[in-house]
Structure 1
């Protein structure tokens, strides 16, 4: 079976578009603040936690990817990201938002982010830089 490296590139683009949803958090801030009467400093902490979890999970995710492959790391990341988004949609407290959006979404992005980049760099050695 002949593998087309272009399908890996298409999958990588789709994965990164999904992972970029975390940066839309600023759109959610005004409705969250008006609905729950939260302060900006309280609401934005969820995004801060997400970015911190994202950064700290990259190393264990990379090690997992080296041992088990990019499909495993990306799948775990996708599950965590999806679960975090779904749970965040049911939030009614800051702690729940911090745990769902902050922690789970951040971990999901951390696990899934490296997989498409590493995979594409291996499939396109002639197109570096």
Structure 2
């Protein structure tokens, strides 16, 4: 998987899920600990055409999981049956490029500005 396989990443907070988007979480480390943030993401046609994804009954969500010691991130794709899962490696460079492509800065990282409630 590459950064181009995921577009339109944005926080779920004060957002509604648009057509074609899936719920996503990003579990990541920051200087004070570990955090889980909730997003919506639009998978690309390449994502949906992947053989492992096509074998699932359907997809309910995607998790981006940071691994220890600089190992590649893991992408966990959940099946609607809750009995199947698919994991992909996602190099740090691709993960960061995905964030940059959507102008996302993770909470707890320099430059993050919390959403303002209207």
Same fold, judged at TM 0.5 (above): no
Q: Normalising by structure 2, what TM-score?
A: 0.25
Q: Which has the higher strand share?
A: 2
Q: Normalising by structure 1, what TM-score?
A: 0.24
Q: In terms of Rg, which structure is larger?
A: 1
Q: Which has the higher helix share?
A: 1
Structure scoring higher RCO (CA < 8 A, sep ≥ 6) equals 1
